[in-house]
Structure 1
Amino acid sequence: MRPSQILRSSEIPIGKYGHFLNKDTWGNLGCIIRQKGIITYTISPNRQKIFAGAFHDAVFNTWRRFTSQVLYWAPPLLAAYYAMDWANKRNEYLNSKAGRAEFKEG
Protein backbone atom coordinates (compact mmCIF):
# COMPACT_ATOMS: atom_id res chain seq x y z
CA MET A 1 0.00 0.00 0.00
CA ARG A 2 1.38 3.36 -0.99
CA PRO A 3 1.33 6.32 1.43
CA SER A 4 -1.23 8.98 0.80
CA GLN A 5 -0.47 12.16 -1.11
CA ILE A 6 -0.16 14.12 2.15
CA LEU A 7 2.53 11.83 3.50
CA ARG A 8 4.39 11.81 0.20
CA SER A 9 4.45 15.58 0.11
CA SER A 10 6.50 15.84 3.34
CA GLU A 11 10.24 16.46 3.18
CA ILE A 12 11.23 13.08 4.70
CA PRO A 13 10.21 10.13 2.57
CA ILE A 14 8.89 7.16 4.54
CA GLY A 15 8.80 3.42 4.15
CA LYS A 16 10.33 1.78 1.14
CA TYR A 17 10.43 5.05 -0.76
CA GLY A 18 13.76 6.28 0.60
CA HIS A 19 13.49 6.61 4.41
CA PHE A 20 15.61 4.05 6.23
CA LEU A 21 15.63 3.54 9.96
CA ASN A 22 19.36 2.87 9.84
CA LYS A 23 20.58 6.13 8.40
CA ASP A 24 23.80 6.57 10.45
CA THR A 25 25.25 3.33 11.77
CA TRP A 26 24.02 -0.03 12.94
CA GLY A 27 24.14 1.14 16.55
CA ASN A 28 22.03 4.22 15.82
CA LEU A 29 18.80 3.02 14.22
CA GLY A 30 17.45 6.44 13.29
CA CYS A 31 17.47 7.58 16.91
CA ILE A 32 19.11 10.71 18.27
CA ILE A 33 20.56 8.84 21.27
CA ARG A 34 22.93 5.96 20.64
CA GLN A 35 21.67 2.62 21.87
CA LYS A 36 23.26 1.01 24.90
CA GLY A 37 24.53 -2.53 25.03
CA ILE A 38 25.96 -2.59 21.51
CA ILE A 39 29.41 -4.17 21.61
CA THR A 40 31.79 -4.12 18.67
CA TYR A 41 34.74 -6.43 18.24
CA THR A 42 37.81 -5.95 16.10
CA ILE A 43 40.80 -8.07 15.23
CA SER A 44 44.15 -6.79 16.38
CA PRO A 45 46.69 -6.00 13.61
CA ASN A 46 49.03 -8.84 14.59
CA ARG A 47 46.16 -11.31 14.13
CA GLN A 48 45.26 -10.04 10.68
CA LYS A 49 48.56 -11.19 9.15
CA ILE A 50 48.86 -14.66 10.60
CA PHE A 51 51.95 -15.60 8.56
CA ALA A 52 53.81 -12.32 9.04
CA GLY A 53 57.42 -13.32 9.67
CA ALA A 54 56.54 -17.01 10.01
CA PHE A 55 59.21 -18.32 7.64
CA HIS A 56 61.91 -16.04 9.06
CA ASP A 57 61.04 -17.03 12.62
CA ALA A 58 60.80 -20.69 11.68
CA VAL A 59 64.42 -20.77 10.53
CA PHE A 60 65.86 -19.06 13.58
CA ASN A 61 63.57 -20.79 16.07
CA THR A 62 64.46 -24.17 14.59
CA TRP A 63 68.17 -23.37 14.81
CA ARG A 64 67.84 -22.21 18.43
CA ARG A 65 65.95 -25.37 19.43
CA PHE A 66 68.38 -27.60 17.53
CA THR A 67 71.46 -26.12 19.19
CA SER A 68 69.91 -26.36 22.64
CA GLN A 69 69.07 -30.08 22.22
CA VAL A 70 71.84 -31.47 20.00
CA LEU A 71 74.12 -32.45 22.90
CA TYR A 72 71.37 -34.64 24.35
CA TRP A 73 70.83 -36.85 21.31
CA ALA A 74 73.97 -36.57 19.15
CA PRO A 75 76.49 -38.41 21.41
CA PRO A 76 74.24 -41.47 21.95
CA LEU A 77 73.43 -41.49 18.24
CA LEU A 78 77.13 -41.43 17.30
CA ALA A 79 77.98 -44.10 19.87
CA ALA A 80 75.21 -46.37 18.55
CA TYR A 81 76.33 -45.79 14.96
CA TYR A 82 79.96 -46.70 15.70
CA ALA A 83 78.93 -49.72 17.77
CA MET A 84 76.70 -50.98 14.96
CA ASP A 85 79.43 -50.34 12.37
CA TRP A 86 81.96 -52.27 14.48
CA ALA A 87 79.50 -55.16 14.98
CA ASN A 88 78.77 -55.41 11.24
CA LYS A 89 82.48 -55.39 10.33
CA ARG A 90 83.25 -57.96 13.02
CA ASN A 91 80.42 -60.20 11.81
CA GLU A 92 81.64 -59.99 8.22
CA TYR A 93 85.19 -60.86 9.33
CA LEU A 94 84.09 -63.81 11.47
CA ASN A 95 82.02 -65.21 8.60
CA SER A 96 84.82 -64.75 6.06
CA LYS A 97 87.43 -67.36 5.14
CA ALA A 98 90.13 -65.65 7.22
CA GLY A 99 87.89 -65.34 10.28
CA ARG A 100 86.86 -68.98 10.14
CA ALA A 101 90.47 -70.04 9.80
CA GLU A 102 91.48 -67.91 12.78
CA PHE A 103 88.74 -69.27 15.04
CA LYS A 104 88.58 -72.78 13.65
CA GLU A 105 86.76 -75.34 15.77
CA GLY A 106 88.42 -78.46 16.67
Structure 2
Amino acid sequence: MRPSQIMRGGGGDVPIGKFNKYLGGFGNFGGSKQKGIITYGISPNRQNPFAGAVHDAFFNTWRRFSGQVLYIAPPFLAAYFIMDWAIHRNEYLNSKAGRAEFADAEE
Protein backbone atom coordinates (compact mmCIF):
# COMPACT_ATOMS: atom_id res chain seq x y z
CA MET A 1 0.00 0.00 0.00
CA ARG A 2 1.34 3.40 -1.00
CA PRO A 3 1.37 6.20 1.61
CA SER A 4 -0.72 9.24 0.87
CA GLN A 5 0.82 12.43 -0.45
CA ILE A 6 0.37 14.08 2.92
CA MET A 7 2.42 11.37 4.58
CA ARG A 8 5.09 11.53 1.89
CA GLY A 9 5.03 15.31 1.53
CA GLY A 10 6.24 17.82 3.99
CA GLY A 11 7.73 20.52 1.83
CA GLY A 12 10.89 20.98 -0.09
CA ASP A 13 11.47 19.40 -3.47
CA VAL A 14 10.06 16.00 -2.69
CA PRO A 15 9.11 14.28 -5.95
CA ILE A 16 5.41 13.51 -5.73
CA GLY A 17 2.78 13.09 -8.37
CA LYS A 18 2.56 11.80 -11.86
CA PHE A 19 5.55 13.72 -13.20
CA ASN A 20 7.68 13.57 -10.01
CA LYS A 21 7.12 17.24 -9.22
CA TYR A 22 6.23 18.56 -5.77
CA LEU A 23 2.93 20.44 -5.97
CA GLY A 24 3.68 22.86 -3.15
CA GLY A 25 2.35 23.38 0.35
CA PHE A 26 -1.25 24.03 1.35
CA GLY A 27 -2.65 26.98 -0.61
CA ASN A 28 0.46 27.20 -2.75
CA PHE A 29 0.06 24.53 -5.39
CA GLY A 30 2.64 24.63 -8.13
CA GLY A 31 2.23 26.17 -11.52
CA SER A 32 2.96 29.54 -12.97
CA LYS A 33 2.13 32.69 -11.11
CA GLN A 34 -1.08 34.47 -12.06
CA LYS A 35 -0.64 37.50 -14.22
CA GLY A 36 -2.81 40.55 -14.72
CA ILE A 37 -4.06 40.80 -11.14
CA ILE A 38 -3.37 44.23 -9.71
CA THR A 39 -4.05 45.14 -6.11
CA TYR A 40 -3.96 48.58 -4.61
CA GLY A 41 -3.66 49.56 -0.99
CA ILE A 42 -4.02 52.70 1.04
CA SER A 43 -2.73 53.46 4.48
CA PRO A 44 -5.34 53.25 7.28
CA ASN A 45 -4.31 56.78 8.29
CA ARG A 46 -5.39 58.10 4.89
CA GLN A 47 -8.79 56.41 4.82
CA ASN A 48 -12.07 58.12 5.66
CA PRO A 49 -14.60 55.29 5.98
CA PHE A 50 -17.59 57.58 6.64
CA ALA A 51 -16.94 60.01 3.80
CA GLY A 52 -20.35 60.87 2.34
CA ALA A 53 -22.17 58.33 4.50
CA VAL A 54 -25.00 60.68 5.53
CA HIS A 55 -25.47 61.98 1.99
CA ASP A 56 -25.44 58.48 0.47
CA ALA A 57 -27.74 57.10 3.18
CA PHE A 58 -30.33 59.81 2.56
CA PHE A 59 -30.42 59.44 -1.22
CA ASN A 60 -30.15 55.66 -1.15
CA THR A 61 -33.09 55.52 1.28
CA TRP A 62 -35.13 57.80 -0.98
CA ARG A 63 -34.28 55.72 -4.06
CA ARG A 64 -35.29 52.46 -2.38
CA PHE A 65 -38.45 53.97 -0.89
CA SER A 66 -39.62 55.48 -4.18
CA GLY A 67 -39.01 52.17 -5.93
CA GLN A 68 -41.17 50.18 -3.48
CA VAL A 69 -43.89 52.60 -2.38
CA LEU A 70 -46.31 51.63 -5.15
CA TYR A 71 -46.10 47.98 -4.08
CA ILE A 72 -46.70 48.70 -0.39
CA ALA A 73 -48.96 51.77 -0.14
CA PRO A 74 -52.10 50.62 -2.07
CA PRO A 75 -52.68 47.44 -0.01
CA PHE A 76 -52.13 49.33 3.24
CA LEU A 77 -54.48 52.14 2.18
CA ALA A 78 -57.13 49.63 1.12
CA ALA A 79 -56.81 47.76 4.42
CA TYR A 80 -57.03 51.03 6.38
CA PHE A 81 -60.21 52.17 4.62
CA ILE A 82 -61.85 48.74 4.91
CA MET A 83 -61.07 48.59 8.64
CA ASP A 84 -62.30 52.17 9.12
CA TRP A 85 -65.57 51.33 7.34
CA ALA A 86 -65.98 48.10 9.37
CA ILE A 87 -65.40 49.87 12.70
CA HIS A 88 -67.92 52.61 11.90
CA ARG A 89 -70.44 50.09 10.62
CA ASN A 90 -70.05 47.96 13.76
CA GLU A 91 -70.48 51.00 15.99
CA TYR A 92 -73.62 52.00 14.08
CA LEU A 93 -75.15 48.52 14.19
CA ASN A 94 -74.59 48.35 17.96
CA SER A 95 -76.00 51.83 18.56
CA LYS A 96 -79.60 52.63 19.47
CA ALA A 97 -80.40 53.82 15.93
CA GLY A 98 -78.80 50.79 14.29
CA ARG A 99 -80.67 48.34 16.54
CA ALA A 100 -83.94 50.10 15.83
CA GLU A 101 -83.33 50.01 12.06
CA PHE A 102 -82.21 46.36 11.85
CA ALA A 103 -84.17 44.88 14.79
CA ASP A 104 -86.41 42.77 12.59
CA ALA A 105 -83.46 41.44 10.51
CA GLU A 106 -82.02 39.46 13.44
CA GLU A 107 -85.03 37.15 13.76
TM-score (normalizing by structure 1):
0.56
Higher helix fraction: Structure 1 or Structure 2? 1
Residue 42 of structure 1 deviates from its aligned partner by 4.5
Paired position in structure 1 for 2:86: 87
- Structure exhibiting the larger radius of gyration computed from Cα positions: 1
Q: Per-residue CA shift, 1:51-72, capped at 9, x if unaligned? A: 1000000110000000000000
Map of 1:1-106 to 2, 5 A cutoff?
42-43=41-42, 48-105=47-104, 106=107
TM-score (normalizing by structure 2):
0.55
Superposed CA RMSD in Å reads 2.2
Q: Is the partner of 1:69 in helix, strand or coil? A: helix
Give the aligned length: 65
Structure 1 stretches lacking a partner, 5+ long: 1-40
Q: Within 2, Cα distance between the matches of 1:44 and 1:66?
A: 36
Q: Per-residue CA shift, 1:27-74, capped at 9, x if unaligned? A: xxxxxxxxxxxxxx94368x8211100000011000000000000000
The residue type equivalent to 2:89 in the other structure is R
Residue 99 of structure 1 deviates from its aligned partner by 0.2
Structure 2 stretches lacking a partner, 5+ long: 1-39
Identity %: 75
Q: Is the partner of 2:67 in helix, strand or coil? A: helix
Q: Is the partner of 1:60 in helix, strand or coil? A: helix
